[in-house]
Structure 1
Amino acid sequence: MSSSEFDVYQSPLNTRYCSTEMKHLFSARKRFSTWRKLWTWLAEAEQELGINISNEALEQLRAHQTITDQELADAAVEEKRRRHDVMAHVHVYGQTCPAAAPIIHLGATSCYVTDNADFIVSTQLTQISLTLSLGQPAQLTTVGKRMCLFITDLLMDLENFEHAKKSLLSWFRGCKGTTGTQASFLQIFQGQHELVERLDQLVTEKAGFHKAFTITSQTYTRKVDTNIINYLGEFGATCERIGGDIRRLAAMKEMEEPFEKDQIGSSAMAYKRNPMRSERLCSLGRHLQCLTQNGLTNYAAQWFERSLDDSANRRITLPEAFLTADACLILLDNISNGLVVYEKVIASRVAAELPFMATENIIMALARHDVSRQESHEEIRVLSHQAAAVVKNEGGQNDLIERIKRTPFFAPILDELDGLLNPSSFTGRAPQQVEKFITEEVDKALEPYKIDVRCIPFQS
């Protein structure tokens, strides 16, 4: 990083949290190179349908689809002068490809490149994205079952991402002209409607999409953005929930996220092991949830065929939504791969609370010996409060079981107490549920992703 870069604001999403792949997809080179591909596809399709475009023009367009550093700098200068980003890039591309200069952007409106590029990038973004109680002792569960609660929600998010990917591939803005009427293209093709429709179809196919919207305004409907950002916002809520529970479990010393050998938890308190990854996950997840409102209001605020008051907002919101989701995914992967479970701490806490949890089992056992449930309940209620007082007021151990053993009322079930206090008898079918869930749902959902996406060459 050059010294000048330290003098201007840098988004933490860019400098700290996100993957190189995701940052590349939102780079200026990726955006404007995609515009060049769209202009090339448009020119190719127009030539195929009879418009007088030379082969030399197409060869130049194809040879310069990836924008250079110098061209990016030139376009920035042009944009300051012209106050129009698309026309600045049309100008620079035309200087680089002089034979094609007269036909670049022929019949198109700015949203031909801006909106269609958003669709193209969003499909790649979704591909990357694909790759507990009220705080009171209650019925026991297992660590595995609790993790499966997290996974259940993540599978729902995965299903949302899959749906978003399929939806994006099913629709493209295509070639619709200034207000979506295709009037400019109809003029180019001298009133031949079938050629205008064929042009729309050809460009859509060249871009890798199944079909284009039949009806658009100058833009594709911003409801598309709303749906995608809402899915990402739901994922953000999942992340905050998971991170919050891991933080609570860390506070109880039952579970801990990865903590590196030389990691510092606090500048003041050397002993601290702050769950910084989970805290960051909660923070970014919360930010991601908040971005959903931008998508909704950008859609709702549109006027007629289009108004430009969504433009600046979308330039921030769409990248931040995907970049934040990417950062959350990196954190989830890091946390889950290094999660530590402290079994002895859990066992100690279970032992401390188990006598209270076992009271219902004891009442049921007495009922099998024809002892009134009301009487059993009252006897246990009195002893439970006495044992709780020892714990709360004296800092002692839970001695409820010892009190039960000393009380004649419970004599009929004393030889059953050990069995009634077996922790595994309180977890129900949790182990079996986990096994079924993993084999029948999780493994099947992850089957398409067995190839490590990090091993696939990244396409610019």
Structure 2
Amino acid sequence: MLERYSLPEMTRIWSEQFKLQTWFRIEVLACEGRAKLGELDGDIVKAFWASEPEIFDEQRIKQIEAEVNHESVAFQMYIEELADDKCLGIFHRGLTSSDVLDTCYNYQLKEASDLIITKLQNLAAEFKRLALEHKLTPCIGRSHGIHGEPITFGLKMLRAYAETQRNITRLENAKKEISVGMISGTMGTYSTINPTVEKYVCEQMGLEPESISSQIIPRDRHAMYFTILGVIAATLERVSTELRQLQITEIGEIQEPFSSRQKGSSAMPHKKNPILLENITGLSRLIQTHVSAALGNVSLWQERDMSHSSVERALGPDTTITLDFAIHRLTGILKGLVVNSQQMANNLEKLGGIVYSHRIMNTLTERGVPKDDAYRMVQSASFKAIESGSNLLEVLLRDKAIQDWVSQEELADLFDLKYFQKEIDGIYERVLGPGNQGAC
């Protein structure tokens, strides 16, 4: 992944050193498990632990790999160069490469999950803060990009909060799904290794033993995991896209953070472009494309082939590093988000009150006007208001047909924002729980 879109903690999990350290740990834990069964001398295990270098020599491993053309074998040969003579021929005995590689890969995904979950919790906290702060900040709700009825900006943020909470639950489940390891030998039959060793290694790694492996951990687990990451990315894209739309000049309801020394355009000094939100939109799309690759990895030949390997070398780090960065960036945007409540109010009244048309129509039907007749009456009045630039109430007050059913005083009372906020406490309580919905 590009350094530009990477954060140190997540990058460390996918570093070559972290991978080699984890390989070594799995290999020696397997020896330790065998020693507990009496199959190995405990001194040999101690000798292996003592041979661990402070920094693994990546160049030396590559030199060996250039000769043997096998990454895992090259690593084993490198460790034998470092280990005591009495350890020769014991390292990796009874294991196959995938025992180490797959267990390591899933361990990395588990560790990556913890970082992403923490980032999502931080993001959810910002959505919640904005939801409570703007619980009663009125704005126009839009469907198909067209003015619909009044809502509040807080409700927009509350929806994003609830969606993020669902994503946290999804990722926690995906983490559980992926937190498995295997030490089952060739073909997964344990013919060369006692299953107790697998249980011991997995316990030490914070993993569960794979219930049934072939020569690999089944890739349906990984497909589910990366699909959930894709769903999280889809949420980021949805939110960032909506915030970008609200920043359009003609709407102008919010503004992403813009520093005093920042330049919005190389040619037009007046511009404040939503570049951070656009960046998140693009990164989210990239993450979603990775899902199809993960699904394709499920269909491997027989007990194992290597067609998944090249995909996963990029898939694991690129997806988790990018998602980690995108969540972090969106959280930062929300922390500094400028909310223009006055412009929200201006937009709400921009079309002269036609956003109250539904309530007016319902009032007419309640008084006995047939539904289609009521619809046509209010539609005609609304279009007149739009075309003439008048207020809908003014048009209605001149419409005798409507006043036959609703008095002028009653019509004026229908143009009330609070009508659309009467159930807002209940919505907040449903999402946040009793006593957490904020003060009105």
Partner residue of 1:260?
259
Q: Deviations over 1:268-306 (max 9, x none)?
A: 222221111211111111111110100111112x00010
1:401 aligns with 2:393: yes
1:120 aligns with 2:118: no
Partner residue of 1:283?
282
Q: Is the 8 A contact 1:366 1:413 kept in 2?
A: no
* Structure 1 Cα separation of the partners of residues 116 and 346 of structure 2: 40
In 2 relative to 1, CA 405–180 (structure 1 residues): closer, same or farther, beyond 3 Å?
A: same
1:140 aligns with 2:150: yes
Q: Is the 8 A contact 2:253 2:340 kept in 1?
A: yes
* Structure 1 Cα separation of the partners of residues 347 and 295 of structure 2: 46
Give the secondary-structure state (helix, strand or coil) at the position aligned to 2:146: coil
* Structure 2 Cα separation of the partners of residues 440 and 77 of structure 1: 63
Partner residue of 2:169?
159
Give the 5 Å matches for 1:402-417: 402-409=394-401, 413-417=407-411
In 2 relative to 1, CA 218–372 (structure 1 residues): closer, same or farther, beyond 3 Å?
A: closer
Q: Deviations over 1:139-160 (max 9, x none)?
A: 2211111112212221221111
Unaligned runs of at least 5 residues, structure 2: 119-141
Give the secondary-structure state (helix, strand or coil) at the position aligned to 1:138: strand
In 2 relative to 1, CA 364–240 (structure 1 residues): closer, same or farther, beyond 3 Å?
A: closer
Q: Is the 8 A contact 1:44 1:58 kept in 2?
A: yes
Partner residue of 1:20?
8
* Structure 1 Cα separation of the partners of residues 369 and 203 of structure 2: 78
* Structure 2 Cα separation of the partners of residues 161 and 317 of structure 1: 17
Give the 5 Å matches for 1:284-363: 284-300=283-299, 302-353=300-351, 355-363=353-361
In 2 relative to 1, CA 366–199 (structure 1 residues): closer, same or farther, beyond 3 Å?
A: closer
1:422 aligns with 2:413: no
Q: RMSD between aligned alpha carbons?
A: 2.4
Q: Is the 8 A contact 1:141 1:430 kept in 2?
A: no
Q: Deviations over 1:86-128 (max 9, x none)?
A: 1111111121222433311111111121011112212111111
Q: Is the 8 A contact 1:383 1:403 kept in 2?
A: yes
* Structure 2 Cα separation of the partners of residues 123 and 436 of structure 1: 31
Bigger mean CA offset, 410-419 vs 316-325: 410-419
* Structure 1 Cα separation of the partners of residues 361 and 202 of structure 2: 70
Partner residue of 2:191?
183
Q: Is the 8 A contact 2:356 2:415 kept in 1?
A: yes
Q: Is the 8 A contact 2:351 2:386 kept in 1?
A: no
Partner residue of 2:124?
none
1:94 aligns with 2:80: yes
Q: Is the 8 A contact 1:109 1:177 kept in 2?
A: yes
Offset of 1:183 from its aligned partner? 2.2
Give the 5 Å matches for 1:214-229: 214-229=211-226
Give the secondary-structure state (helix, strand or coil) at the position aligned to 1:151: helix
Aligned residues: 409
* Structure 1 Cα separation of the partners of residues 53 and 324 of structure 2: 25
Q: Is the 8 A contact 1:257 1:340 kept in 2?
A: yes
* Structure 1 Cα separation of the partners of residues 435 and 337 of structure 2: 22
* Structure 1 Cα separation of the partners of residues 159 and 69 of structure 2: 51
Q: Is the 8 A contact 1:291 1:317 kept in 2?
A: yes
Give the secondary-structure state (helix, strand or coil) at the position aligned to 1:266: coil
* Structure 2 Cα separation of the partners of residues 336 and 66 of structure 1: 44
Partner residue of 2:126?
none
* Structure 1 Cα separation of the partners of residues 384 and 106 of structure 2: 66
Equivalent position amino acid for 1:112 in 2: D
* Structure 1 Cα separation of the partners of residues 392 and 40 of structure 2: 93
Q: Choose the corresponding residue for 2:67, options 81, 103, 119.
A: 81
Q: Is the 8 A contact 1:164 1:228 kept in 2?
A: yes
Q: Deviations over 1:369-422 (max 9, x none)?
A: 7777766655544332222223xxxxxx43332233344555552223442112
Partner residue of 2:47?
60
* Structure 2 Cα separation of the partners of residues 278 and 182 of structure 1: 51
Q: Is the 8 A contact 1:18 1:323 kept in 2?
A: yes
Offset of 1:307 from its aligned partner? 0.7
Offset of 1:24 from its aligned partner? 0.2
Instruction: Report the TM-score, using the length of structure 1 for normalisation.
Output: 0.82
Give the secondary-structure state (helix, strand or coil) at the position aligned to 2:351: helix
Partner residue of 1:271?
270
In 2 relative to 1, CA 436–224 (structure 1 residues): closer, same or farther, beyond 3 Å?
A: closer
Equivalent position amino acid for 2:23 in 1: W
In 2 relative to 1, CA 371–237 (structure 1 residues): closer, same or farther, beyond 3 Å?
A: closer
Bigger mean CA offset, 421-430 vs 361-370: 361-370
Equivalent position amino acid for 1:402 in 2: E
Unaligned runs of at least 5 residues, structure 1: 1-10, 186-195, 391-396, 444-460
Give the secondary-structure state (helix, strand or coil) at the position aligned to 2:95: coil
Q: Deviations over 1:325-348 (max 9, x none)?
A: 212211221122222211111101
